[in-house]
Structure 1
Amino acid sequence: MMQRKFKHGLTVIALAGTALFAPPAQAQGSDTLVIARSMDVNSLDPARAFCDTCQFYLTAVYETLVTLSADNETLVPNLAESWEVNADFTEFTFHLKDATFADGSPVEASDVVWSILRLKNLKGSPSFLMDGLVSAEATDAKTVVFKLDAPSSEFLNKISASYAGVVNAELAEANGATAGDDAAETDKAEPWFLANSAGSGPYKLASYAPDAELRMAGNTDYYGDAPKFSEIVVTQIQDAVSQAQALETGQADIAMQIDPDTARSIRSQDVVTEIVPSYNFVYIGFIPGAKGMADVITPEVRQALALAIDYDGMLDFTVGGNGKKQAAPIPNGFPGTAGLIPREQDVAKAKEMLEAAGATNLKLVAGYPNDNVYGVDFNIMMQKVQQDFAAVGVELELKPLTWAVWRDELGSGEWPITAIYYAPDYYGSAQYVQYFGMIEGFPWAGRAGLGHPELVVNPAEAGLYQQALASSGEDAEMLYTQLGEEMMKDAIILPLVSPNLVLAYRSDIEGVRYSACCNLPLAEISRK
């Protein structure tokens, strides 16, 4: 996750941070766009990649059938010029416009079918997006029909996710890619995708060096409006202060991980900073299935610990008030969240509940990644949690870990509490139920139960989830509100803060915005 984005057990490539950098050319006034960020690339293969950097890279290189407009809610045509959905949300038909891949070959329905089946069958981190897909068929060269095993009013939203980008099937197959049912075992194309691309977007991969930079070249044969830059360079700069320095000196055009405090320190009139709400959030998660915790981290104890946290103080402590509290593990502004009431601290009630549960003198361990995500220093955040737990008589040992160690220990039951973050893959609330819902077979239910689903599964959620997917509009919003309330009752996932996002860029750059599906839409960015 992030920043490192870590959602579904993906492999994260560790990148060395540097204070500053020496790009091949000064960014300002050139035909090269330079973006400074701490990269979190786990793969450049659309069906395997799963990270923040991956989102905007894939969106620039691999186009999706539909995409999210600037209002962050409305879907608009992309490779598909039109589409139809049947009455019960089980069949989706897309009609393609005339488009070409970077090698000049036409984008055809067969490429779409191959790409989506590969996303499903490769069993990579983003494969969950295609859960429930039973068939994909090209009825002619420009028409694709998808059929689902159950209603899903969010399938259109899922198709807008950057990981659903369409790949040149013939080129990818020639380099080891497969899309069949056995793709997880037979596909050998991941190394090829680290050095090559096969998309239809305005940019294509030029080179990738895991310890330094990601380079994209403008697709001079792009069928649409010409790319605004001949080259885009994403350069590795680890911390916010160094990113700000790169902006002020003109060595970078955009910095993606500047926190509000650092933004306030920027004095250059050549740098623009905007603070905008985001759909990102950081949270702690309880793992009742951890070693010796089945009779300790009970629902009553989890609810008590949820009451122990000072959420208002956490907001000030972590981001200086530049963010919002969040009630459930569904971001503010997503369907169903308007009716959810954020938790409030109640120390007296927390102590009472812990005593009633026989959980006095409780000692717990929190293992979490040692990182700074969305301007939130996880060590500082967890020190605040430690402080709040101590106020109700609970001792919390903090165990900051490298990403590699955290990933290995996450599924081993070494500690009962962790901390992590989440950013949307598309606009829609179902993804959060599908990930955080205490429904057997869902990621966090498995992560929290560790082979003992009875410790965490909430029987009410599965039915509500299916009803929500079969609904739309106000009916769906009402059901997502109920799901949010149930997830709050679970008290497995406790959102701590939804940080605001800082958009920071040189004043001669325009088109910079935050996207719920794509992070940073590179195709819209230009130099004045």
Structure 2
Amino acid sequence: MLAAMLLATSAFWAPATFAQDSKPLVIARNIDLNSLDPHRAFCDTCQIYNSSVYESLLTLDKDNKLIPLLASKWEGNADQSSFTFTLDPAAKFSDGSPVEAKDVKWSWERLKNLKGSASFLMDNVASIETPDAHTVVVKMVAPSSEFLNIAAAPYAAVVNSKVASEAGAKADADASTTDNAEAWFLAHSAGSAPFVLKSYEPNSELRLARNDKYWRTAPALSEVVIRQTKDAVAQAQMLQSGTADIAMQIDPDTAKTMTGSDVKIETVPSYNFIYVALSPGAKANKVPLTPEVREAISLGLDRPSILDFTIGSEGQLISAPIPLGFPGGSGFEAQPYDVAKAKELLAKAGHADGFEMEAAFPGMNVYGVDLSLLMQKVQQDLAKINIKLDLQPIPFANWRERVNGDGIPMTAVFYAPDYYGTSQYIDYFAMTKGSPWSRRAGAERDPSVLNPKEADIYKAALAASGDEAARLWHQAGEEMIKDRIILPLISPNLILAYKSDVKGVRYSACCNLPLAELSH
């Protein structure tokens, strides 16, 4: 029995035919690249780069439906433990050589064995078999209804294994210590996508050129330049002066100042969100963060007021740490604001007079939200239930060290999806043994934070598909709400700002900004 199967025709997946532009398209954004090696890259700009220069087996259309890319068809067995992909025989790398099953196997094994930021995507892969040049069979350690979504992630990029191996890239089990190709990838690319790397100047610009040997419809743009522009105001100035065609990180306040008929502003819902998190096991806690205390803190947060204070109508409230629009992410009840009940719970826990609490967080502006201002509002809210927050904005690197070390009693931070799939949120936020946030919540020092139900639901969801999987993901979200470790607050909208003559601009759940669809 096939759990999922799709046959593709060229009419189904081919992009529109474009008149080709000779003028470069310039994008202004803060370039947060950590690497141009597609299996080491892990950032927002990395999603744009990887999906423009490399291809995955599948991708997402504008409605987040899986469609063919390198694979022309695919199928999964009934219990989601084995997946077979058939590669399109027309697929070619930028040097003209064919994309073959051996390249997929090598690429995914390299991603796993580099043990880098995105390696977790392949953690559940037991083996990859290549019975012929165009067939890839992936066997899972445990059932995974999410693997097709993972196969569409830009981090699951397929690389020309011959070219990359000659440059020092390795896919063996010891690749994390023997691979020395990262420097090579700073000046070269080895993919099959519509663009190739032309040049990269750190802290200046990333320049891509049209892949003249692209095996499908050629992109309209001859060249794309992503220019380092740190803040929204500078990006807006570049767009209005004509030195940029797209500004990618415009916040709502800056958008309101932009004028001119040649500038187009669109606001769309995003899959990003900002949340407060509590750590019952943090060494700096002055009182035990028991379930009653955590519920009191949640009840003390005036979420509608927080939304109005930070982004107003340019976003929405979010109750569970699953994005609105992801499977299982809709239909959660709004979280209540009840000062009287919060005080009652604190008194019951022995804290009628309140207590003091450290709140360290990254001193950043993300998605148009200044985390320092956000936490000042949280501080004001919690003061009404006699919890006094000691706000400590710190550099992100310091925050990461503290939150992963002794823990932070209360923090605020943000999350954006790594691929279109809900399991990543349970992987990251659920109170299951070994998850990042169970560790940060201090599960080793306070095992009471663990929620065994979430592990059972997670396992069942990965063995299910479709509506049943979505129902189980929603159930996992309900459990994470009850944990009151992760307290989601707001999901800011995304602002698309671009010149009116640019066509095809959209926000993608897998690829951020699909460059191959753009023209001007």
Same fold, TM exceeding 0.5? Answer: yes
The unaligned stretches of length 5 or more in structure 2 are 1-20
Task: Tell me the equivalent position of 1:114.
Answer: 106
The unaligned stretches of length 5 or more in structure 1 are 1-28
Please give the alpha-carbon distance, in whole angstroms, between the structure 2 residues aligned to 1:30 and 1:106: 28
Please, which of 490, 502, 514 is the counterpart of residue 521 of structure 1? 514
* Worse overlay, 220-229 or 447-456: 447-456
1:295 and 1:190, CA in 2 relative to 1: closer, same or farther beyond 3 A? farther
* TM-score (normalised: structure 2): 0.93
DSSP-derived class of the 1:124 partner? coil
DSSP-derived class of the 2:376 partner? helix
1:244-270 deviation digits (Å, cap 9, x = unpaired): 111111110001111222212211110
Task: Tell me the equivalent position of 2:467.
Answer: 474
1:120 and 1:453, CA in 2 relative to 1: closer, same or farther beyond 3 A? farther
Contact kept? 2:265, 2:496, Cα under 8 Å: yes
Q: CA RMSD in A?
A: 1.5
DSSP-derived class of the 2:441 partner? helix
Contact kept? 1:277, 1:323, Cα under 8 Å: yes
Task: Tell me the equivalent position of 1:277.
Answer: 269
Please, which of 427, 437, 455 is the counterpart of residue 444 of structure 1? 437
Task: Tell me the equivalent position of 1:17.
Answer: none
Kindly report which structure 2 residues correspond to 1:407-486, keeping only aligned pairs within 5 A, or say none: 407-413=400-406, 415-449=408-442, 451-452=444-445, 454-486=447-479
Task: Tell me the equivalent position of 1:76.
Answer: 67
Kindly report which structure 2 residues correspond to 1:378-397, keeping only aligned pairs within 5 A, or say none: 378-397=371-390
DSSP-derived class of the 2:266 partner? strand
Could you tell me how far 1:320 is from its partner in structure 2? 2.1
Could you tell me how far 1:139 is from its partner in structure 2? 1.1
Kindly report which structure 2 residues correspond to 1:35-46, keeping only aligned pairs within 5 A, or say none: 35-46=27-38
Task: Tell me the equivalent position of 2:121.
Answer: 129
Contact kept? 2:404, 2:439, Cα under 8 Å: no
Query: Residue type of the partner of 1:275?
Result: T
* TM-score (normalised: structure 1): 0.91
Please give the alpha-carbon distance, in whole angstroms, between the structure 1 residues aligned to 2:514 and 2:170: 28
Q: Is 1:502 aligned to residue 495 of structure 2? A: yes
Query: Residue type of the partner of 1:310?
Result: D
1:105 and 1:453, CA in 2 relative to 1: closer, same or farther beyond 3 A? farther
Kindly report which structure 2 residues correspond to 1:345-360, keeping only aligned pairs within 5 A, or say none: 345-359=337-351, 360=353
Work out the number of aligned pairs and report it: 498
1:77 and 1:463, CA in 2 relative to 1: closer, same or farther beyond 3 A? same
Task: Tell me the equivalent position of 1:260.
Answer: 252
Could you tell me how far 1:445 is from its partner in structure 2? 1.4
DSSP-derived class of the 2:331 partner? coil
Contact kept? 1:445, 1:453, Cα under 8 Å: no
Query: Residue type of the partner of 2:69?
Result: N
Please give the alpha-carbon distance, in whole angstroms, between the structure 2 residues aligned to 1:160 and 1:41: 20
Please give the alpha-carbon distance, in whole angstroms, between the structure 1 residues aligned to 2:350 and 2:28: 51
Contact kept? 1:322, 1:499, Cα under 8 Å: yes
Please give the alpha-carbon distance, in whole angstroms, between the structure 1 residues aligned to 2:482 and 2:492: 23
Task: Tell me the equivalent position of 2:6.
Answer: none
1:452 and 1:131, CA in 2 relative to 1: closer, same or farther beyond 3 A? farther
Kindly report which structure 2 residues correspond to 1:89-104, keeping only aligned pairs within 5 A, or say none: 89-97=80-88, 98-104=90-96
Please, which of 236, 240, 243 is the counterpart of residue 232 of structure 2? 240
1:177 and 1:122, CA in 2 relative to 1: closer, same or farther beyond 3 A? same
Kindly report which structure 2 residues correspond to 1:40-439, keeping only aligned pairs within 5 A, or say none: 40-72=32-64, 74-97=65-88, 98-293=90-285, 296-359=288-351, 360-413=353-406, 415-439=408-432
Could you tell me how far 1:338 is from its partner in structure 2? 2.7
DSSP-derived class of the 1:526 partner? coil
Contact kept? 2:113, 2:119, Cα under 8 Å: yes
Could you tell me how far 1:294 is from its partner in structure 2? 9.0
Task: Tell me the equivalent position of 2:483.
Answer: 490
Percent sequence identity is 57
Could you tell me how far 1:348 is from its partner in structure 2? 1.1
Query: Residue type of the partner of 2:223?
Result: E
Please give the alpha-carbon distance, in whole angstroms, between the structure 2 residues aligned to 1:30 and 1:197: 22
1:222-253 deviation digits (Å, cap 9, x = unpaired): 12222222221111111112111111111100
Please give the alpha-carbon distance, in whole angstroms, between the structure 1 residues aligned to 2:422 and 2:268: 20
Please give the alpha-carbon distance, in whole angstroms, between the structure 2 residues aligned to 1:452 and 1:206: 50
Please give the alpha-carbon distance, in whole angstroms, between the structure 2 residues aligned to 1:134 and 1:107: 23
DSSP-derived class of the 2:74 partner? strand
Could you tell me how far 1:297 is from its partner in structure 2? 2.0
Contact kept? 1:288, 1:455, Cα under 8 Å: no
Please give the alpha-carbon distance, in whole angstroms, between the structure 2 residues aligned to 1:170 and 1:120: 18
